[in-house]
Structure 1
Amino acid sequence: MWDDAGALGRLTRWMLLAVVVMLTGAGLAWLYHSDFFPVKKVAIEGRLKHADSKALQTIARQYMRGNIFRADVNGAQAAFQKLPWIDSALVRRRLPDTVEIVLTERVPLARWKDSGLVDTEGNVFQADVKDKLPVFDGRPGTGKDMVQHYHDFGKILSVRGLKIRELVYTPRSAWAVVLDNGITVRLGRENEIKRLQQFADIWPILLREHQSRLSYVDMRYKDGFAVRYSKPLDEPSENGSGKI
């Protein structure tokens, strides 16, 4: 017989704890496999403009089977994030019968020259839109840097009423921009912000009135710049002048 009351008490407590754990496990297993608490509502939230609604519904149906406890929220979240237009996805249960899906869509900023689009965070993804967008021509992995330069360059040029049609970042780390009027501005591998600002400063004074015959402006010179004409020098520009 037991004559150690303390040991007997500890054993009793452990046995009670084991029973509670077993009952809890059995209860959870019953809930998981039962037909109670079915998923009655799948709520998809987020400002979605380009994402394929059929693909979203297919994923929701695939992973939201059975009751609320069997809904594979992790699998659904991973599947949503594989869609090209989805930047992030959050899938969570809302007891007793709702699964909430919060999706954030990528915002296209430019076209990637080879294929695909570039979002506002600099990520390249395979999709297409009908919107007119500037073109980025750069090396793989440079998307974020190009987005930053696009914004920095755009602020400088907008003061002169100019926009970027194409942004180029060469394999030699040199920058160039093609403007919406077709003129290319070569900036080189260093001081590109300063050089573009210099271009913007001389634009209204020396270049704007002759823009119809300019092919490119080379700002890579220390104490000046060079231009290449798309028309002969002796051919008048739109204002009738043949000189710069």
Structure 2
Amino acid sequence: MLNNYLKVYWLGNLVFLLNIILLLFLLSYQFMHFAKFPIREIKVVGQYQHLDADQVGMISDRFVKGNFFSLDLYSAKEAFTKLPWIRKVSLKRVWPDRLEVFVEEHQVIGRWGAIALVNENGEIFHGASDEDLPLFFGPEGTETYIALEYKKMQSILDKKQLKIAQVSLSPRYTWDIRTTNNMKIILSKDNIEESLSRFMAQYDNILASVKRIGSADLRYPNGFAIKKSTEPNQKIDSGERPLI
């Protein structure tokens, strides 16, 4: 008799507890999906040049749905990530009515042929740019390698105020570098920085002798082969691909 009473007592308590949990769930659901607590402000945080108010407004209208609690951050983040110049993005709710969008844009350093742009990490992305950027050519999968080597080579050439216009890497990993004054530099896959630094150390002496350098083949272990240019220095046409 006592056991039956205890069973009924505990069963009643359990049913009561379940009802309380269900009630709390329904109340919280209604609270979170009620038409109050709208997102009234979207604040973009970070250094950016290519993200504009129209793009933010478009994403806000299409993907920032719901209120402060029910907003689907994943969908909004995906929408921002698909914008042309956006590399990384993160979103954060700020009470009571603000959405903060932290953006990192691609920092462009060159063009991958005529189809895309390359950022400083060697990642290809698609976007419009009217900057005078160097052209990169190479086998598929070498984008990162080329971008990193380009930055090293340009750093060395900066000492003589030379700028790279084109970088081409052959399937055999021979480098063809064209500067903006139409000088051709050929490098092997080995000792790239050492060979280029050695050439730059003698650059002024060579230039004093030949006046205009047409090409410099730096693939020799202890020197280089120089060809004099017979053409006036002209800026290279970045629309043409150099051949190796």
Q: TM-score, normalised by structure 1?
A: 0.83
Secondary structure of 1:3 counterpart = helix
Please give the alpha-carbon distance, in whole angstroms, between the structure 2 residues aligned to 1:197 and 1:9.
88
Residue of structure 2 in register with 1:236 after alignment: none
Please name the residue that 1:122 is paired with: 122
The residue number in structure 2 matching 1:140 is 140
1:175–1:192 Cα contact (<8 Å) kept? no
More divergent stretch after superposition (174-183 vs 82-91): 174-183
Number of aligned positions between the proteins = 231
How many angstroms apart in 2 are the aligned matches of 1:88 and 1:129?
A: 19
How much has 1:98 moved relative to structure 2?
Answer: 1.8
- Cα separation, partners in 2 of 1:208 and 1:175, compared to 1, 3 Å: farther
Q: Secondary structure, in 3 states, of the residue corresponding to 1:117?
A: strand
Distance 1:209 1:56, change over 3 A: farther
Deviation at 1:26, TM superposition (A): 0.1
Q: Where does 1:11-160 land on structure 2 (aligned, <5 Å)?
A: 11=11, 14-160=14-160
- SS of 2:129 mapped into structure 1: coil
Contact kept, 8 Å, 1:38 with 1:66, in 2: the verdict is yes
- Output the aligned Cα RMSD: 2.4
The 8 Å contact of residues 87 and 105 in structure 2, kept in 1 or not, is answered as yes
1:63-114 per-position Cα deviation (integer Å, ceiling 9, x unaligned): 2233222322110101111111001111222233222222111111112223
Q: Matched residues in 1 for 2:157 and 2:53: separation? A: 38
- 1:5/1:208 CA distance change after superposition, 3 Å: farther
User: 2-side partners of 1:96 and 1:223: how far apart?
Assistant: 68
How big is each residue's C-alpha offset from its partner over 1:176-201, in whole Å with a ceiling of 9 and x where there is no partner? Answer: 32123211110012222221122112
The answer for unaligned runs of 5 or more in structure 2 is 232-244
Matched residue, 2:195: 195
CA deviations over 1:137-167 (Å, ceiling 9, x no partner):
2223322222221221122222223222222
Q: Which has the higher contact order (CA 8 A, sep 6+)?
A: 2
Query: 5+ unaligned residues in a row in structure 1: which ranges?
Result: 233-244
Q: Which runs of 4+ in 1 moved over 3 A?
A: 4-17
Contact 1:109 1:120 in 2 (8 A): yes
AA at the equivalent of 1:200: M
